[in-house]
Amino acid sequence: MGRRNKYDKDFKLNSIRLCEESGKNQRDFEKEMGIGGGCISHWKRELNESKEQAFPGNGTPRDQEVARLKREIEILRQERYILKKAVGIFSKPTRNDMSS
């Protein structure tokens, strides 16, 4: 699976404008620019639907909160795993305990 590219608002707006002004086929334009296929269509649709709120940058505040919570959950899972290991290690009888 390939890495997902992130484009800023200015790049998206300029790409839409250039594609329309170039008169080229949209697929050819995307290929020439190194943009994934269908990006221009997606960006145009988002621009038409959201107008000024289009391309907020890092997603909606809800998306940002979900991402933050997922990172926090992963950190908590790792901490819990480490604590379980530590309890297991420290609860084992020591050699001195066995000789008594």
Same domain, 46 and 79: no
Same domain, 20 and 51: yes
Answer for the pair 47, 56: CB distance below 8 angstroms, yes or no.
no
The boundaries of the domain holding residue 68 are 58-92
Does 2 map to a domain?
no
Q: What is the pLDDT of residue 2?
A: 57
Same domain, 14 and 40: yes
Give the percent of the chain with pLDDT over 70.
Answer: 86
Same domain, 67 and 41: no
Same domain, 17 and 46: yes
Cα torsion through 45, 50, 56, 60, rounded to 10: -100
Burial annotation 60-78 (CB, 10 A radius, 16+ → b, else e) = eeeeeeeeeeeeeeeeeee
Split at pLDDT 50, 70, 90, the class of 10 is: confident
Same domain, 63 and 37: no
Does 13 map to a domain?
yes
Tell me the Cα Rg of the chain: 26
Same domain, 45 and 26: yes
Q: For residues 30 and 97, give the distance between their C-alpha atoms in angstroms, rounded to a whole number.
A: 71
Q: pTM to 2 decimals?
A: 0.52
Does 19 map to a domain?
yes
Provide φ and ψ at 37, rounded to 5°: -60, 135
